[in-house]
Structure 1
């Protein structure tokens, strides 16, 4: 769910003046830019806003810009979210688990698919613990 940057700034008591000071930009310029779509912002401004909010720029983008989720699988190339698997058996095993959880509302990142791939190809207690954290029962 995306949020309006103005609302985020108000909720956090961050003013355009603070962002301007952080970025070295003019207050009027910052005020004008933050009212435009985030796709038109400079990286410099995005970094300044994120810094003022004490967030990473990517985390801020996740809040203010909608990225529709789409599960990408390719049975011929053995890929899930563009992560290639070494064998059809491991690919099918992970694909089944991923698709089942996507139906439940999970939106896996490429990083999470890589984690599942590593666990399926080379089981490791640390990786299995992380997977349990991702897929664990929320009632625990």
Structure 2
């Protein structure tokens, strides 16, 4: 038996250790059996202090397993999803900001060109303006 397969990750092992162990199982036994063995060991050993749980969750999702975390891990996932949504929203808002800046620059260019082409009209218009 392969040494990597015998070395089940320790109780608070980082996600990378679990991923490597699953890959060794998959290579030796195939995906279906590797998933079964992984889940059996994972349920007995995992705790709330696992580093990089979201990485392991993402990897196992690709393998066909949805890992449920405890409340701490699920909260971490919610924050991660929230920030991804925020990043998307900021990207859209950034696009609108660029559009608004371009509109303002276009309007400013129009005003400057109008003043240069018709300075008398611009002076009369400026004389009519009253401070509030």
TM-score (norm 2): 0.25
The structure with the larger Rg is 2
